Structure 1
């Protein structure tokens, strides 16, 4: 592929880990027995149905799909209490999240983790979504989180997927497929919960779905609405506010399906999601679940997504055309009071004012006055995004020995960022309005991508299949930044509007071979390439030589085995893989330790094993489990010139645990001729990791391992028309820290995010 070209010019402008292991671990839908079903004689019959997925752009079951893929049914999600992608972190092998709290989460698959553009393609139906760039160009760290209610299934594809998916997926793809309008009948669901959180208070939420055919077999509409209020469990000891991190989330979606003919289906959808919270993290030094921030730290996230999808079935293939528009407003607040106040020393005055010489009394007095005027202040980034995507795709019907997909993809994303440092009221911690701005950086970031992709799959002989795919990509990134208000305290200089433009094009490839040893045993092997765009930094006071950074890429090699046995009452899938990662984009810090930025440095290798088991030893009992081992390390020293934060050969990649495991047990049994009972336990384990490559770095922090357990027991009516359940999340009340950071801005304190403490409640559902 061609290298990055830079053309400088002047120019223009928690519920952290709810487990949802369910049937997805082994690719089988959970057994949902009614009392009537349990009365039937099922001895010797195959148990359960394998989930049908569309990962290959044609319908196949999990066990027939020769890639590393897991799926979770909507019913399993519901039974496990999953509400957003943040709750999927333990559902399948190799999937986890770097959890910075609501609206600040990064999806990670197979240890491919780092700041910058997303490494994982996240799709809601046919629409790829991305996060906000912020001042540190980290669009992958704030993945949009839409409500997972009335979902058909979730698919997790591990490894690069750029030859089948429009938005190239460097490390994997996460697909959320919602239930579509039914054109034949009226139906609906009402779901409500009331619960109480340890160290917090009462929580309540409700969701509803209504499906109405407007013209039988031709037009239908499906509407979903939800509201959730989760009480806080973090106390702000500096401001004297208990339970400060109350979370409110509300919104819905409206879907319209039209079927003008048997061959043509037309879907229009609108999604709305609103999230409000405060202080998503706490400070380890201040005590368990305590924050000592001097300012309030609210997060406000508004997402609107509109999409159109048209499918036309020819005799030989299906033509799909999709388009989408997403608008997102995201604002957050980060306390910097201690960092600013820490500047109030003669030594800092000498450095910042006296050019190394001791300040005179008048200089010192003026410098102290400047510091005092900003002694209670915060960074207040406000981001607004407009993103358009379009994709055309033609896929064969899967009936012949040759199957193929050809497609084209276009996206245009513009993000405007205003990142001021503003003063706050020392009594209430609220930002003072009108804003009192100490410094401000404005950024206008545009990324345009164009790609053509395709795959050809050939059934050479019975049981043997060979697949090859390719993707041509071209991207252009255009960034304009300016600093209009300077600040010597954070090293911000006045800069006029300055433009940096970059572009790149090239190819990535995928090769796959599979062989069915028996109808129930399949062996596959794959080599696939992944790619991620480069760009330019927009950080206060950053040297011009560090502005640009290149794209990074990887090759993923894997071998996998998929098996079914005991008359398909059990499945066992396992794969081993190696990933060679080049020109890594990594997070570095400015010399003062205050701000992070992106750079290219070194190479890495990720080696791992993923295994998942599904077992149904008797009617009504479903057992699922998965385990992941990941060894993610640098294979050479990072050549950054910043030895404190640069990794060395052998250092582990940050936030990648070596071991992860999960499992679930669900049992359904008859209580009477009309009632059924169910009980379910989910558990997961996440190993320890570090926040930086160099464990000796002053701001490196260790993230301990943790285990979480959830439980649910309930009564269900005939055909599951209704259900009433008691549930507990984080049953053992573990202090599960999911992310830990520190910096000069934090003055060496350790900032952490954690799973919600034990929550116990009741849930009721009614379907009609």
Structure 2
């Protein structure tokens, strides 16, 4: 199904590129070597020809370079010379590529054991679409990790963001539970505590923003074309909240011409824990062929629990259930317009927290109450694209509602069981309209405007389960009624409105040297207020803090890069980029406090040689320096409640490298590493006492050293069967939970391993996967409950887990 959708998308792009110009006219044509699908798109852009394909497999035909002044028909003949395809001319500017008729010939007999499929054609040129312009990877000035959707088996798709963490060395995360985690790129991490700050990593589904002042929604990755991770600030193109980079998930679009689908199912068993399972289905249905099509995805996942609670005498308490659906309707009224209406809904129910206590033994803890959570996520989006000549207009408008309800054990020593609840409702409305001109080899420009409005509404309560009518206070000013009656604690409501214009242009002053300049001008209106303030808070103090929060700001984010590909096969680049996050209000020691904007500036340089998965050797390396001012961090106040503060100024050095080898077409070896040296050089006043004797504090939650080693093997077993084997090991180095002696406990320093095998016969695939092969008990995350920061809590890796799956495409 993925390949069929890709071919239809190729055909649609080629048709959309058509213009009134006659394709028979001789024009300057410049096509790089690659695959026929991408060559057809480029030829359509350059000549105005409308080019379709009759067979999905034709898009993979290897094509030579074609350069010179000629007609579209002549260029097509050169592309197809020596291939098993031919041209069928419809009219002066419309062509259809069809499979050539070959004379029948006897098939020589050979034993089944030596049967082999013909060698696969070389992969096509890789395009970085997250740049919002179609930039070929060799001409993208920056570090990008691209994970093809074809690499995700159904087991990995069921795991959501965990599949990305296992494949991208620069990506890290907290591990509070699915739907509660923060994702970090490079070392741009504030803390592991969930507060009202905006994320440091921007996340997108296509062109629609997924998060703002909320954790990773952790969408399941079913039916995805791929994922692009752009490293470093992306302020010019993506605005606030992209300090560390962006993650863009690209779903498969509806196929206008073919009915089909896929069903995936799997069962899993976790050592020391409960079984789990997953079930998913994809259906593509053309409603009006070549005009309107619907694509629907539905799924349900259960992750078996493996943490035992001794105090409550419960086993495997941390079971998680996830279910969701995604639908997209595509309307293509003619060859120039594409209209997509899409929506998704996902629900995550966590029965209990994910952490354990080393004092209680492996995979066990002692909690007085259950700590369930749930995430309720809804997204609606409308996208319109208009294509003409070498320009296109894109408009994307959407709405997100993300409700995350969490609970923490607030029981105090010697006191009755108590539970703290926090509910964060985030709503986002955003619209972006941009005009793009893609020229050859990564040149061109983009001009756009956007508007975003986001509201974060945090409400809190505290419940005591003691039998007496009144209990000793845990949070000053919050009465404890006992008998399970909830008392309201102070929360906050932050709203931001952003109006933005942005532009970026690339030009080639001399051959082999590309310069790119860009900038983003943003006007922000911020407001904040207290929710349910307790009686201890003075009205004057609240009014003062809210007056400080209600303000307007104008921010300009410049960007610049230079790239050289003058050396054959080698790309050298240098890049400067900035990013920022707006401020807001937080509750600190039951006082309403304002936190300020923070801003990062990154200067980086790197090189690339070869393209991963296409060339026998592909090498890339990058070194970056980041200056981070007025760092916003979600921390805890003296009571233990999550709050937000500016913790000072910091700097980060990052070194990354990756080597991908293909010693033979069947085998791929992939090795990557990242080293971070992050410091809080100028701590805020309340942290300076911790920086004794001039000691510099480390920034939290990102390991100083991480790396990944993977091997992939694909081979035909017979004319009908193919085998795929893969294995990986990922090392996550030491990091700290937060800043200071209480939150400064170490975590990480473990190796996570995985192995998978699949056997494919036609539309059927059987798979077997193993995770955490050595049943490691590594500590992924050190936070348990913020009301007890002194116990030796840790979040263990999921124990050794085996999954058996079956996929069927139709």
Instruction: Name the TM tier (shorter chain).
Output: 0.7 to 0.9
Q: Which structure 2 residues correspond to residues 70-469 of structure 1 after superposition, within 5 A?
A: 70-78=145-153, 81-82=156-157, 83-115=159-191, 116-130=197-211, 139=213, 142-167=215-240, 169-277=242-350, 278-338=352-412, 341=413, 375-399=416-440, 403-424=444-465, 436-469=485-518
| Deviation (angstroms), 1:670 | 2.0
| Deviation (angstroms), 1:765 | 0.7
| Deviation (angstroms), 1:755 | 2.3
Q: Match of 1:577? A: 624
Q: Is the 8 A contact 1:323 1:391 kept in 2?
A: yes
**Which secondary structure does the structure 2 equivalent of 1:209 belong to?**
strand
Number of corresponding residues: 680
Q: Which structure 2 residues correspond to residues 645-684 of structure 1 after superposition, within 5 A?
A: 650-684=696-730
For 1:37 and 1:551, locate their aligned partners in 2 and report how far apart those are by CA, in whole Å.
65
Indicate the larger mover: 50-59 or 624-633: 50-59
For 1:49 and 1:622, locate their aligned partners in 2 and report how far apart those are by CA, in whole Å.
17
1:741 to 772, 783, 803: 783
Change (3 A) 1:555 1:257: same
Change (3 A) 1:266 1:656: same
Q: Is the 8 A contact 1:255 1:270 kept in 2?
A: yes
Q: Which structure 2 residues correspond to residues 708-747 of structure 1 after superposition, within 5 A?
A: 708-718=752-762, 721-741=763-783, 745-746=787-788
For 1:473 and 1:222, locate their aligned partners in 2 and report how far apart those are by CA, in whole Å.
36
| Deviation (angstroms), 1:692 | 3.0
- CA RMSD in angstroms comes to 3.0
**Which secondary structure does the structure 2 equivalent of 1:687 belong to?**
strand
Q: Match of 1:643? A: 689
For 1:674 and 1:725, locate their aligned partners in 2 and report how far apart those are by CA, in whole Å.
16
Q: Match of 1:53? A: 128
Residues 612-657 of structure 1: per-residue CA shift (max 9 Å, x gap): 1222111211221211111111223433366248996532211121
Q: TM-score, normalized by length of structure 1?
A: 0.83
| Deviation (angstroms), 1:587 | 4.2
| Deviation (angstroms), 1:119 | 1.3
Q: Is the 8 A contact 1:325 1:389 kept in 2?
A: yes
Instruction: Give the unaligned 5+ runs of structure 2.
Output: 1-33, 39-59, 61-111, 192-196, 468-479
Residues 518-566 of structure 1: per-residue CA shift (max 9 Å, x gap): 3411101111111111122224523x6xx12211112111111010289
Q: Is the 8 A contact 2:343 2:381 kept in 1?
A: yes
Q: Is the 8 A contact 2:357 2:791 kept in 1?
A: yes
For 2:665 and 2:177, locate their aligned partners in 1 and report how far apart those are by CA, in whole Å.
40
Instruction: Give the unaligned 5+ runs of structure 1.
Output: 1-26, 132-138, 343-371
Matched, 1:616 2:662: yes
| Deviation (angstroms), 1:85 | 1.9
Q: Is the 8 A contact 1:453 1:472 kept in 2?
A: yes
Q: Which structure 2 residues correspond to residues 529-544 of structure 1 after superposition, within 5 A?
A: 529-542=578-591
Change (3 A) 1:189 1:247: same
| Deviation (angstroms), 1:492 | 7.4
Change (3 A) 1:637 1:101: same
Matched, 1:554 2:627: no
**Which secondary structure does the structure 2 equivalent of 1:297 belong to?**
coil
Residues 146-182 of structure 1: per-residue CA shift (max 9 Å, x gap): 1110000100000111212255512211100110001
Indicate the larger mover: 173-182 or 54-63: 54-63
Change (3 A) 1:126 1:41: closer
Q: Match of 1:17? A: none
**Which secondary structure does the structure 1 equivalent of 2:152 belong to?**
helix
For 1:450 and 1:565, locate their aligned partners in 2 and report how far apart those are by CA, in whole Å.
38
| Deviation (angstroms), 1:750 | 3.0
Change (3 A) 1:648 1:289: farther
Q: Is the 8 A contact 1:51 1:71 kept in 2?
A: no
For 2:374 and 2:442, locate their aligned partners in 1 and report how far apart those are by CA, in whole Å.
51
